[in-house]
Chains A and B, each alone.
Chain A
Amino acid sequence: MKTRSLRPLYLLRQITRFSVLICCYLSLCFSAITLADSDKKNDHTEQERHAEKSHSGSYEAPLPVQLTTDPDLCAYVPCHDIFPYADRFSPRKGRPAYVEAYHEEHGQQKLLGYAFLSTDIVDIPAYSGKPVVTLIGMDVTGKIIGVKVLRHSEPILLVGIPEIALTKFIKQFVGKNAWDKLEIGKARAEGGYIGIDAISGATVTVISANQVVMRSAYEIAKQVGIIKAVPRPQASFSNITEEQSWDTLLSEGSIQHLTVSPSQVGLDNTGQPYIDLYFGYLNAPTIGRSILGERNYEGLMAELKPNEHAIFIVANGSASFKGSGFVRGGIYDRVQVSQDMDSFTFRDTDYRNLYGIRATGAPEFNESAIFIIRSTSFSAAYPWSLVFLGNKVNKQTGARTFANFDREFWLDAKYLQGGRPIVVKADPTWLKIWKSRIWEITAFIVILLFTAVVYANRDWLVRRSSRKDKRWVSAPKYAIWLVSIGFIGFGLMAQPSITQVLTWFHSLLFHWKWELFLSDPFIFIFWLFIIITVFIWGRGLFCGWMCPFGSLSEIIYKIAGKVGLKRFQFKPSMALHNRLKWIKYGIFWVLLAVSFFSMGLAEKLAEVEPFKTTFLVGLFNRSWPYTLFTASLLGLSLFTERPFCKYLCPLGAALAMPTTFRWFGLKRKQECTTCSACAAGCGSQAIDSLGVIDHRECMLCLDCMILYYDDHACPPLSKERKLREKSGLPLTRINAEGYYIPIHPVPMKGAEE
């Protein structure tokens, strides 16, 4: 075989064969991207086709710059799709903004409902870290009558899941009321929740879209008076009246601090904050007296009616928290107070001058104000937040997106009679996902720990195995493979992908958000496992034991060998293998480089990974080029071991590089430099002619380690066994270096004497 593989003609034939195959796969992959969209459309009904047409291209769809600021919202978005019978739409009004849709009947203008843009109201990012920009329509009774996604940046909906899935999901909101409590999946029995179907594989996106639509509808319904204010129990203040210094109030949380840097709103750093703001609640006697002084406090309290509350805001920075909106429309459009689902905005009539801070040690401020909240829905006994409403400017396009920055305030327990009430805060989205899948998460962690423990005990396992009987290693490994394919791959859809590595790079550079990574618990845990094990043992534990696609590929190879295809199975020559293995590194670097210029294109090119087609969407749920590409890779796996993992996998390449620094490698003997017994049987072809293991290519199958301790298979060990048997010497235990423990003859005591 060795001499055969060195023949130039044979080598040439092998290179040609594999090059053609690889080129076919790559061209299929790339043509898939262009063909997939046209192919998808053939599978849908007329209605779906219309819906799809209306939503096609909403991935990173360019939106006019004026969309966020122009009073005529409907000049830029298709309000007529939501209100087909409307003759007229009002300019943007209110805070947050909405437009009214009118129809003329018998010369009278009849109000049909309200249309509003989600990004005017909420700032909820989806999986991509960017919001799903949605146009929502609601009738005058508070019923949602239309929802339209204008733009999203969800990669999974670009190349994994067809966008029609998003259309179907969004349609579920139509007919729901603004005050309904919707939950993704099966609704909880208690609490009056309504369940809506999720998009499989895009949990974070749909949770975010649900919050966006329902919170927007609730806000507007409340503002236009469809939802009436629900009074909250009011606070009773304790009798503490002692005045405090600025620093004391700040340290006890009675004054809160909110800073927004220029970079957070897309501006250049100028050395000073965009806004540096302090605020607090004035009705509480201690705080009010400390900030305003006795006389001013009494005057303000005398002015306030029951259920009216005063807060103060002071600030420095390059921006103004007052803005200029109050000059035009009487509304302060830079600050508002929110409490749970309620938000409170301020008009010019709610403003009072704050001429100075009386608390000792207070710094100087450029701007100051007192605002009055006039609502029974607000209560100082419960936590509330001051929200600074900013616009984030995209420097390249000049487009502005709504961005809010908030800080919570909760009156110290000592200022409230009976202390703070018990408040059950809603869990963040990622925590909800973790809680709802706790049992699956537990099972997943157990599987990962089991795999790590099995591999950590590899010495024990390989010592009990032999070249002819590898059950001690094979049994747990095959079991892990099956669990990986069935439970992790098809069940949890937790197939790690190169796109996640690209997302990390970008997050590291631009904006790291733990919530983004925590929102998919299985991928998050899997990556923790991968990072730890790559540095301890190398990439082989993940690639060779745990990767769902890798496991599927090798199981196909093993089964094919057992059912009579062994004679067709082949290994490319080492010379060819050593050339082809670089392809995966090339793919990885190309993807990484492309991602810095266009994440969307990188996501498309990442289709070189057949993971989405296999596990996430399904082999037969995608258009034929994707299916053909994946089927070809799996088909080739019948004849050669892990062709994708060895030559194409960009994720494998990304993990191979840190594998250079793995702590613990596989063992070698002195004789391995001249003996090629392990190399001949190495399925990964990771052992070179000098017997050195390339851990970057090694899948940790442990075949060479079985041989290492097998005194009937390892040539140097077998030779020593035969010598000992011939000389009548006992076969001692094989030590960690892979040799029999040496026998040192000890002179007999009697003989010495």
Chain B
Amino acid sequence: MKPNAENRLPSYAETKGVKWLLYELFDHLWPWSKQGWLQHKAIQTAGLAFAVAVTVAWALAANGRLGADALIGWWLGWSIYEIIIRMQCKPYIKDGPWWGHRYRPAGRMDMICYVLFKNLLIGALLFITLRNLGLLQMVS
């Protein structure tokens, strides 16, 4: 299950400007890679199914009311899956300022912190957006 040496750092590290920003954005949102897909088809397929299920959960949330515990369960489940898949497909994290181009191979704890924190920010952004649009109601 160890990643290939060529997967250790992103191929776009040397890219500049808007193109690099778009690569970064894609990298944060898409945990899979082509190499990872070829190597671990079963896991990837299960992952995609899981992603669909998560999307359904979000759709449910957007359509009305979803209990906090259910939503957090989904969030946690997805995050654990993402940690596993990223360790195989994209086992690196940014080193230094976000605007810099330095990356480092990620240890397990690096990846746990990265995924949980990133998903927390994405989750918070989605919560706030959905709630401000009146599409999500949380019950305390």
Q: How far, in whole Å, are A596 and B116 apart by their CA atoms in the complex?
A: 17
Mask for B102-139, Cβ within 8 A of A = 1, else 0? 00000001101110110000001001100000110111
Are A268 and B113 in contact, with the CB atoms below 8 A? no
Contact with B along A483-526 (1 / 0, CB 8 A): 00000000000000000000000101111000000000000000
Chain A residues whose CB sits within 8 angstroms of the CB of B69 once the complex forms: 596-597
Q: Is B97 an interface residue (CB 8 A)?
A: yes
**A261–B94 contact, CB under 8 A?**
no
A579 adjacent to chain B (CB < 8 Å): no
Number of chain A residues whose Cβ lies closer than 8 Å to a Cβ of chain B: 23
Could you say which interface size class chain B belongs to? 20 to 34
* B117→A661 contact, CB < 8 A: yes
Q: Which of A268, A510, A656, A660 contacts B140 (CB 8 A)?
A: A510
When the two chains form their complex, are residues B113 and A663 in contact, meaning their CB atoms are under 8 A apart? no
Q: Which residue of B lies closest to A266 (CB)?
A: B139
Q: Does A355 contact B (CB under 8 A)?
A: no
Closest CB-CB distance, B79 to chain A, in whole Å? 12
The reply to whether A658 and B113 form a contact with Cβ atoms under 8 Å apart is yes
Closest to B121 in A: A658
With A269-B134, A509-B68, A596-B72 already in contact, the answer to whether A663 and B96 are too (CB < 8 A) is yes
* Interface of A: prevailing SS: loop
What is the bound-complex CA distance between A658 and B115, given in angstroms?
A: 11
Asked if A657 and B124 make an inter-chain contact with CB atoms under 8 angstroms apart, the answer reads: no
**Of A396, A508, A511, A660, which is within 8 A of B93 by CB?**
A660
Q: Which of A263, A268, A395, A659 has the most CB atoms of chain B within a 10 A radius of its CB?
A: A263
B76 closest partner in A (C-beta) = A593
Chain A residues with Cβ below 8 Å from B26 are none
Check B77 for interface membership: any CB of A closer than 8 A: no
Please tell me if A293 contacts chain B, counting CB pairs below 8 Å.
no
Q: How far is the CA of A658 from the CA of B98 in the complex (A)?
A: 13
CA distance A664 to B113 in the complex (A): 17
Q: Known: A269-B134, A510-B140. Is A696-B113 also a contact (CB below 8 A)? A: yes
User: Could you tell me if B94 and A661 are in contact, using CB atoms closer than 8 angstroms?
Assistant: yes
Q: How far is the CB of A359 from chain B (nearest CB, A)?
A: 28
A657 — which chain B residues lie within 8 A by C-beta?
Answer: 112-113, 116-117
Residues of chain B contacted by A663 (CB below 8 angstroms): 96-98
Separation in Å of the A603 CB from the closest CB of chain B? 15
Contacts of A656 in B (CB 8 A): 113
Q: Is residue B101 within 8 Å, beta carbon to beta carbon, of the partner chain?
A: no
Proximity string of chain B (47-87) to chain A, C-beta cutoff 8 Å, 1 when within and 0 when not: 00000000000000000110011001000000000000000
Cβ-closest chain A residue relative to B96 = A663
Per the bound structure, the CA–CA distance linking A395 and B109 in Å amounts to 40
**A395-418 near B? 1/0 per residue, CB < 8 Å:** 110000000000000000000000
Q: Which listed residue, A596, A661, A696, touches B109 by the CB 8 Å rule?
A: A696
CA distance A511 to B132 in the complex (A): 11
CB contact under 8 A between A269 and B140, given known A508-B124, A597-B69 = no
Q: Is A716 an interface residue (CB 8 A)?
A: no
Residues of chain A with a CB closer than 8 A to B134's CB: 261, 263, 269
Check A600 for interface membership: any CB of B closer than 8 A. no
Instruction: Indicate if A665 sits at the interface (CB-CB under 8 A).
Output: yes
Assess A596 versus B97: contact at CB under 8 Å? Given A263-B134, A660-B113.
no
Fill in one digit per residue for A660-675: 1 if any B CB lies within 8 Å of its CB, else 0: 1101110000000000
The answer for the CA separation of A665 and B114 in the assembled complex, in Å, is: 17
Contact B138 A660 (CB under 8 A): no
Chain A contacts for B68, CB-based, 8 A: 509-510, 596
CB distance from A125 to the nearest CB of B (A): 13
User: Using Cβ atoms and an 8 Å threshold, which residues of chain A touch B113?
Assistant: 656-661, 696
Q: Is B64 touching A268 in the complex (CB atoms < 8 A)?
A: yes
In the complex, what residues of B have CB within 8 A of residue A269's CB?
64-65, 134-135, 137
**B127-A508 in contact (CB<8A):** yes
Question: B117 contacts A268, CB within 8 Å?
Answer: no
Q: Mark A729-753, 1 if CB is under 8 A from B, else 0.
A: 0000000000000000000000000
Distance of A658 Cα from B112 Cα, bound (Å): 11
Chain B minimum-CB-distance residue to A264: B137
A661 and B98 within 8 A (CB): yes
Contact of B65 (CB < 8 Å), options: A268, A509, A511, A696: A268
Quick check: B117 and A658 within 8 Å, CB to CB?
yes
In the complex, residue of chain A having the shortest beta-carbon distance to the beta carbon of B111:
A660
Contacts A/B (CB < 8 Å), 5 sampled? A509-B68, A596-B69, A657-B112, A663-B97, A664-B97
Given contacts A263-B134, A657-B116, A696-B113, 20 further A-B contacts (CB under 8 A): A261-B134, A268-B64, A268-B65, A268-B137, A269-B134, A396-B139, A508-B127, A508-B128, A509-B68, A510-B68, A511-B140, A596-B69, A658-B117, A660-B113, A660-B117, A661-B93, A661-B98, A661-B114, A663-B98, A664-B96
